[in-house]
Structure 1
Amino acid sequence: MSKFVDLAEGTRHSIGVTENGQAFSWGKSSKLGQLGRDTDKISSTKPGAVALAKGVVVQRAYVSNSDNDSGHSALLDDQGRLWMAGCDRWQQLGLGSAQGGTAGYTWKGGKLWQERFVLSSYITDLMKEDNADAAIRDVALGADHTLVLSSNKNDVYSFGKGGDGQLGFVGKPFVSAPRKSSVLSEPNIAAVCAVRHCSMTLGSDGLVKQRVGRQCGASIVTQGVDECIARARRHKLLDDL
């Protein structure tokens, strides 16, 4: 196995990306599919390769900072496309349509999770409809929600659990399929950050531009923001490199 050039570490699972664009996942549990792979041959506690469509090259990995009863994961490929796996109880994988309402879509066999990484083509189509750049610049996973930043550095899309206002929507819907956030979207966003039930945008100087959600001033969130800034620097999204 080649060395990792990107590493995402969450509260219960981690994903590493190698030099040749292969993703490996491991963690304490995979019961909600957050590892995105079969754990029968390789234990969940040991790094195991994630199988994606032929020719897909992974650039970055993201994992949720979730509680024990949740957990989801994201991969960003070299085409700027989003791949998601794990818990989908609150539509945090972004696979459904806003026209579907809170139900959005159903899961095979009645499951509320995806055991393999699935291309989230709906978010790409939505960005195109909004005349945003379809390629994704940055991704952030909270406890039960997801943020996506377009490569135009202006438009932030959010989805998943939103009752605490963490999606940046007016009205704080309890759950939502992908939509553009009118609160978080603005010019010159360098990166996005999601910690538990709080969401933020970062400027090119690494400072927080917008902040929405619950307990955003808690110490665990402050630590999470520091980790977001460090991640943005590793991904060369800030100007101070």
Structure 2
Amino acid sequence: MTSTNPASNVTKIALVTGGSRGIGRSTVLHLAARGVDSIFTYRENQAEAANVVAAVEQQGRRAIALKLDTGVAASFDAFVGRARTAIGELGAERFDFLVNNAGQSLHKAFDQTTEEELDAIYNVHFKGVYLLTQKLLPLIVDGGRIINISSGLARVSMPGSSAYGAMKGAVEVLTRYMAAELGPRGIAVNTVAPGAVATDFSGGMVRDTPALAKRISDMTALGRVGLPDDLGAMISSLLSDDNRWISGQRIEVSGGMLV
């Protein structure tokens, strides 16, 4: 990945939702190591976001943190205005890479999931991805890249994850349509589907529960649970020019979980 946009001779810029922790944080840092500046969103924890900005600056790159709840579509117009300003602060008019990563979990049996819980998962994991990407399209360069984060739970069925897994499945279908419709602009769109990753997602369930981590490790070909850097490294690599001919694909990054 080169650090400049050939069309405008400015540093490449990524916009990563949910970039203050976990997979999103790792993605921002790995992109910085490749010479890419970032705008990333956080929902509540400004101190966490500031730590990511500082870590990027230690690598000699720049990052700007913007507050956003991706489950509130009514806020997207205002956010796009703030994103446009941030892009300008980074010396450009448009950005190169969009990573739709922000999410929240729900572990609830199918027959116990409420309408309110289903709506919350839908708003973040499908409606938010759909509408925020729409709003940001005018700011994405022709020849840019979009990655939508899915989950291994769209491929395998684990009891208690019906709402979450179904919305991730919808995002995978959406990705293929986006790839087809945005192809004329040279924009590649792909899905990255993590397996179980040791982060604070789901209250740190995988990271902080040794018995669960062992059970997952036992069903994974490479013999362990995933780490944020396993995903951040892969996502930043997928955005590089080396992978310019990949579009409309689902790539699972799980260490061979339940193969």
TM-score by length of 1: 0.32
From the two aligned structures, give the one with the greater helix fraction: 2
Higher relative contact order (CA 8 A, sep 6+): 2
TM-score by length of 2: 0.30
Tell which structure's C-alpha radius of gyration is larger.
2
From the two aligned structures, give the one with the greater strand fraction: 1
